Every structure is written in structure tokens, then in C-alpha cells.
Structure 1
């Protein structure tokens, strides 16, 4: 069965943090604790957090916990990216949080051409806080999805093949645009990949 469950993760990288508002704070949900949050040091882009999943998973949802009162540092606008490595990420969500105390859950893009794809890294990029000149705060983050290897492994195989074909397609396009006819024809013959 395709069981959606909580996906354990660790904090992998971050843009900055201010004083005691450490990135790790997003691992615990303490809505009544003012200091239980990550806060960026500034609101200059790019600010971000990169989470590393315990193992590759189909990440279906992200949930943001909040402080018990409205807060100027809540994210009015943010994006979420994901991928098997940090260098190569796909945009999974572009949205914003309401400035209230209710947890909010969002569905993340987790399919390409009807096919589920796995992520190992999730990157959260704050773009705007409710108080326009304030730093960004994230209080709590939960990821859920499928990490059963029997389901994830075939998706992983499909995804790396898909990624390879996309790369070849880009090369073919480049060769065609620059009239490298020989290179174009030989690559196309070898890979049997056609450009639309």
C-alpha cells in the first residue's frame, strides 16, 4: 500500500541564522515558545534552509507549524525545491502562509509525466515576511510522503533515466542550434532520442 508517513530529516545547510534562532529549532513544534524557531540574519536573498532526508522519498506534503500568535516574521511568500542532490533541484511549491497560529499543510509537486519522482534534499526559500522589513522565521517543518524502498527504488531508476534523457535532449538542441550536424546525427542515432 502507498502509505504516506512522516519523513525524518536533518538540517543540512542554511544561508544564515540570528543569535539563538538555530536552524535545528524547526525540528520541534513548540507553538508557545517565542524562541523555538529559525530566524535568518537578514532578509537579503538568497535566504534558505536545506533539509536532508534520512533516505530518498517521494515527498508529498510539507507542513509548517507556527507561533501561538500572529508574527511579523511569518512567511508571507516562500518557495520549496527538491531533488536527489543540492545542485539540481526542481520547484515543488510556490505559496505563502497565513499570519495566524494554525498549522498549514501544502501538497508538493511529486510527479513528472504522471510518474512519481524521489527527493533526498528539500530546500525552503523564504521570499517575503509579513512585516516587510523583518527577517524570516520558520517555527516548525514536517515532511510526509513515501519512503518504502520497494516503491521509491523503481521511481529512482525511472528518474535517473529521465534526467539523462533530458540532458541528452539539451545537447541535441544545442548541436542543432549551432549546426553541428555530424554530432547531432551521431548522438541521435546512438540514443534514439528525438526532438519534438
Structure 2
């Protein structure tokens, strides 16, 4: 991607990455076992062996910890999709892989553990900065692929790029947004291929 939104910085305090990572790791395990909503900062402090006050030196709230976990998960999804896209030079194939990759990676990463899904659901519902930045990066990637297709002559050029990108994003959104994807389980096998095929036909010059 040529342009990416800045990564949210929910952490604060001392620049001690080892301690911060230790807190995030412990929080991830704790959330997986007990759930995000039921876990307090005091619970995390006991789990990691630090005082509650010490954790607050690194994170201003439980949400800040959850946001870093969420950001890590979203980066993992992106990395998987980007790796798939990098294997082809054809814009049409990139778009197909984008549809399929985001759907499969989101299903696997965010739905393999219902407790961790709670974090993703809270993030999407409350529009955490990590989610907003993620969606902006997805849209930037989509525009980049569309621009490549227009330059190569594979995609039509009459419709304004922003309008085309916005429409395709709305088609994709139910399959990578965790709140919407949970209602589409019955269609996740076929939908990415069918929808990307429909979109590509509409992009024909």
C-alpha cells in the first residue's frame, strides 16, 4: 500500500516494550479464558504479577489494552492478505484475492476464539481507533488495486475512482467486519468468489 493511516497508539508511559508486551500477552490469555467484558484491570494485574497502578503507567484503561490486542489481530489479517496479493501482478486477480483473503483471515483469526471475538465486537461497535485506521487501510488498498487496473486497461475509467471504491467497499464490508460477518457464516464459502466476480464484471471497460 502506498498510503497507510497511522497506527493507533493506545499505550502510554515508559518506553519499555518488554513489559508492555508482557501485559498484552497476559491480557490476551486472560480475555481468551474469561472474556473481555468480565475482565477488569485488577484481574489483569493479578495475572501478570504487577500492581494495578503499574499497569496504568503503560495503558490508560482496559480498552487501551484491548485496542492493542485488536490492532495486532488486524495487522495479522492484513499481512496475510497482502502476502496473497503480492503473488500476482494482475489487478483482477488481486481484487479476487482481496475479497477471499479478508473473509478467510477474519473468520479464522477473530472467530476461532469467541472470547477474543468480544474484543473485536466491542472495537467495531465503539469504533475504536484501531478499527477506523484498519478500515482506512483496506480502502486505500482497494483504491490502489483499482488504480492499477485502470492504468493497465483492465478496469473502466468513466466512474470517479472514489465512487467506485466506495461502492466496492460496501460490497466487501459484510465479509470482513466482525459484527456483520457473524450473520454471514452460511455464505462465506461461496460469497467472496461470487461477489468479486460480479464486481469485476461491473469494472469491465
**TM-score, normalised to structure 1's length?**
0.25
Structure with more of its chain in helix, by fraction: 2
**TM-score, normalised to structure 2's length?**
0.24
